[in-house]
């Protein structure tokens, strides 16, 4: 997600980048996570709903029909020469609905009240990243009233591994949920190629449970986001009720799909024929309005999934005739500091930014504390 080309990387030291997005879902799920037979299908995206009642017991549990692999995908030209993970993606590309393991339907106070949420932090996190979530809860992602408006936090997650290991990690998220109420989890396998799916599942959830949230920060769990600055920035906009288009971050223009099979970002022609992506913001962190989030969700309904989640957001925006924009305060690639005289951890470098990639939890904690140190004085302009 943090791919960027050098020609586009701004030299200036004040740049940061952010970016990430999400989607959401409509399936109700209850009960143990691994039993596939105890589910029933509830497809609310189609006009005809399929709800098969349970026979095993009388609990109001919905069961789930597992999305089947599309074996015809193997007929795609050149399929057999594609890396296994691309083949796997093609087999399951049509699957857009997965049962929820952890849900928070009242996170925004219900659809009506959701307008009270000014900034919803939607952070992609995989189950193992406990330490990252912990530090974010204590620092920039703290839920709070900031300059008179509410910041709320959600981690969005899939599952990992299988068997006991999967159960153990699910249990961890369940425990965290009990304490913090900040996790949405779906029963799909976490992987880089499944990030687009995660984003769509979130947007689906948002349309249902939090449609009037004003703005969203969509990002990774290893970025440093200056949420105080974000609130000030968003409040300063002329249209600051989230009902107008807004999509800002680290803008990538004329990015070409990477055709090298060994790359993490490999996109063969079978996944994206065109040799260029529409403009998009790097997925490490980006800011968008509630309006734009719902437009993206609408557009996604008719756009085949691409495994590069941020580029996919760009495709959805493009289809809606909307443009992503760059913001000087977003540095998805981290600060480009070439001078060895500068301490790259100097809090003054980060104080005025919106978002920077990417920090280990301990640095995140320290930086947040230092930025808020009342005795901090910055004359960084002279240093640069």
Q: Count the neighbouring beta carbons within 10 Å of the beta carbon of residue 81.
A: 10
76 binds ligand NAG (CB under 6 A): yes
Residues numbered 171-190 forming contacts with ligand NAG, rule: CB under 6 A: 188-189
User: How far apart, in whole angstroms, are the C-alpha atoms of residue 118 and residue 116?
Assistant: 6
Q: Which is nearer to ligand NAG, 242 or 334 (CB)?
A: 242
**Among 327, 322, 320, CA closest to 354:** 327
* Contact call for residue 71 and ligand NAG (CB under 6 A): yes
- The correct pick among 170, 194, 226, 282 for binding ligand NAG (CB under 6 A) is 194
Told to check if 85 binds ligand NAG by CB under 6 A, we report yes
Rule CB under 6 A: choose which of 2, 24, 291, 350 binds ligand NAG.
291
Q: Which stretch binds ligand NAG (CB under 6 A): 70-78, 126-134, 225-233, 334-342?
A: 70-78
Asked whether position 193 contacts ligand NAG by CB under 6 A, the answer is yes
User: Would you count residue 75 as binding ligand NAG (CB under 6 A)?
Assistant: yes
Choice from 10, 33, 65, 70 touching ligand NAG (CB under 6 A):
70
Q: Site for ligand NAG (CB under 6 A): which residue of 28, 64, 92, 224?
A: 92
CB of 47 to ligand NAG, least distance (A): 12
DSSP of 149-214, one letter per residue?
Answer: EEEEEEEEEEE-SSHHHHHHHHHHHHHHHHHH--EEEEEEE--GGGHHHHHHHHHHHHHHH-TT-S
Q: What is the largest CA-CA distance in the chain?
A: 73
Q: How far apart are CA 316 and CA 311, in angstroms?
A: 9
Does residue 134 bind ligand NAG (CB under 6 A)? no
Tokens for 33, please give them.
């996570």
d(CA 274, CA 200): 22
Task: Verify binding: residue 191, ligand NAG, rule CB under 6 A.
Answer: yes
Residue 10 binds ligand NAG, judged by CB under 6 A: no
What is the dihedral angle through the alpha carbons of 376, 378, 380, 383, rounded to the nearest 10 degrees?
Answer: -80
Interface ranges with ligand NAG (CB under 6 A): 70-73, 75-76, 85, 88-89, 92, 94, 161-162, 188-189, 191, 193-194, 291, 294-295, 298
């Amino acid at each position: 997600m943090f791919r960027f080309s050098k020609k586009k990387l701004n030299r200036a030291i004040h740049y940061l980048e952010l970016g990430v997005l999400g989607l959401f879902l409509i399936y109700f799920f209850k009960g143990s996570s691994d039993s596939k037979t105890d589910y029933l299908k509830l497809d609310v995206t189609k006009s005809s709903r399929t709800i098969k009642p349970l026979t095993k017991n009388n609990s109001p549990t919905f069961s789930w029909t597992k999305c089947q692999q599309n074996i015809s995908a193997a007929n795609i030209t050149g399929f057999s020469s594609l890396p296994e993970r691309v083949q796997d993606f093609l087999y399951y590309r049509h699957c857009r609905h997965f049962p929820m393991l952890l849900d928070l339907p009242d996170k925004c106070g219900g659809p009506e009240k959701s307008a009270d949420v000014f900034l919803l932090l939607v952070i992609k996190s995989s189950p193992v990243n406990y330490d990252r979530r912990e530090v974010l809860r204590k620092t920039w992602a703290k839920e709070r009233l900031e300059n008179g408006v509410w910041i709320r936090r959600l981690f969005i997650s899939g599952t990992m591994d299988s068997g006991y290991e999967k159960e153990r990690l699910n249990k961890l998220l369940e425990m965290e949920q009990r304490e913090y109420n900040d996790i949405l989890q779906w029963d799909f396998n976490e992987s880089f190629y499944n990030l687009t799916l995660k984003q769509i599942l979130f947007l689906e959830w948002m349309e249902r449970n939090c449609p009037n949230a004003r703005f969203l920060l969509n990002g990774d769990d290893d970025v440093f986001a200056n949420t105080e600055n974000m609130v000030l920035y968003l409040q300063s906009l002329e249209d600051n009720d989230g009902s107008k288009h807004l999509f800002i971050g680290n803008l990538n223009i004329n990015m070409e799909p990477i055709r090298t099979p060994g790359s993490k970002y490999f996109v063969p022609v079978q996944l994206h024929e065109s040799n260029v992506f529409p403009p998009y913001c790097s997925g490490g962190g980006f800011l968008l309005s509630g309006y734009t989030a719902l437009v993206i969700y609408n557009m996604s309904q008719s756009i085949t999934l691409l495994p590069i989640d941020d580029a996919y957001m760009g495709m959805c925006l493009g289809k809606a005739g909307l443009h992503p924009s760059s913001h000087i305060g977003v540095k998805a690639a981290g600060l480009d500091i070439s001078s060895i005289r500068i301490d790259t951890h100097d809090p003054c470098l980060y104080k005025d930014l919106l978002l920077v990639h990417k920090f280990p939890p301990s640095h995140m904690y320290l930086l947040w504390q230092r930025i808020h140190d009342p005795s901090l004085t910055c004359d960084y302009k002279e240093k640069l």
